[in-house]
Amino acid sequence: MRVYVGMSGGVDSSLAAALLVEQGYDVTGVYMKNWSQDLPGMRCPWAEDLADAKRVAVQLGIDFKVYDFEADYKQRVVDYMIDEYQAGRTPNPDIMCNQEIKFALFLSTALADGADMIATGHYARTADGRLMMAVDANKDQTYFLYRVSSAALQKTLFPLGEYTKTQVRSMAVERGLYTAAKKESMGVCFVGSVGMREFLGQYVVTKPGDIIDRATGAAIGRHDGAIFYTLGQRHGLDVGGGLPYYVVGKDMKKNIVCVTTKLTDSAIWLTQLSLSQPHWINEQQFNGECLVRLRHRAPLVQATVTAVDDMLHITLAEPQRAATPGQSAVVYLDGCCLGGGIIT
């Protein structure tokens, strides 16, 4: 069976490729060139990552290809992210990347190129087209995969789903993989070490506005663009004196950011959520009691889901902090990721 494995130049995808070779698959490594643009103060590391992926492919004795998805990635992921921020929301581009690029464009391109299956270094498992949580609960990445289709999962292998990150590092060292000691990349893939504020500043025009104390309605400071602030944020407000302030909302049309010193403010702690753009992996709409995750590595929370028309309504058993519009709430039942939607 021919498997095309997405190789990013990191240790996870490198070991995924090595394990597939050991399991007897006909493996081809593929580097997806999604982003190559340098930003002020940050040189995009794509060339180094490509070189590292190539070195591992040579070590493993497998074929290696480069798929140039940069134009599609800019349109489907980066532009989506910028549009969402401009609308006052806080999107998750990694989720969109999985939906649009890795498990759609990469999958279709690989299959047309002669692959029978694709594989990635994600920490997740599949079973009969269902998405199951990884053994390593701390590294589990099913939150980022909830918008993938069952059809795509039936053509996908996740070789690392049964292992912990510690085991993966150890196994990579044992095999002498070139990337065994490489540091893990953090943050949004195309933003890299640059902050989101600096990244967005290259693409959007912002203007200063007032920071408003919601309790008094008084302007207590100035912001440099409402687009840069997100629900529950404390740092970066530059409002001096007294108790710390937290963002509780913003009005993009009026260009104001609302804050409070009340950490228990009901705008920050929510038990009722509405989700747009619901997606069910196995196309079977779910209603009832379940577990919900509101961000990667956030705890699973007891909840009840009710589907009404094209919306999901979620009642959380306990109030959760900063359920941010634009982020995703993901639904789980018995270790299976069922799907979810985008917080409105």
Q: Is 254 exposed, middle or buried (0-12, 13-18, 19+ CB in 10 A)?
A: exposed
Residue 69 C-alpha from the chain's centroid: 18
Pairing type for strands 301-308 and 311-321 reads antiparallel
Give 27's Cβ-side CA count (13 Å radius): 28
Cα dihedral sign, 147-250-227-299: negative
Element (H, E) at 47: helix 46-60
Of the candidates 201, 197, 202, which has an alpha carbon nearest to the alpha carbon of residue 233? 197
Among this protein's residues, is 97 annotated catalytic? yes
Catalytic residue among 97, 258, 290, 337: 97
Q: Residue 189 catalytic?
A: yes
Amino acid at 304: T
49 membership: H or E segment, kind and range: helix 46-60
Whether residue 116 contacts residue 5, with contact meaning beta carbons closer than 8 Å, is answered with no
The burial class, CB within 10 Å (0-12 / 13-18 / 19+), for 218 is exposed
Count of beta carbons in the 10 Å neighbourhood of residue 264: 9
Tell me 298's DSSP state. Answer: P
**Cβ-based neighbour number of residue 118 at 10 Å:** 23
Confirm if 152 and 107 have CB atoms less than 8 A apart. yes
User: Cα dihedral angle (224, 227, 232, 233), rounded to 10 degrees?
Assistant: -40
Q: Among all residues, which ones are annotated catalytic?
A: 97, 189
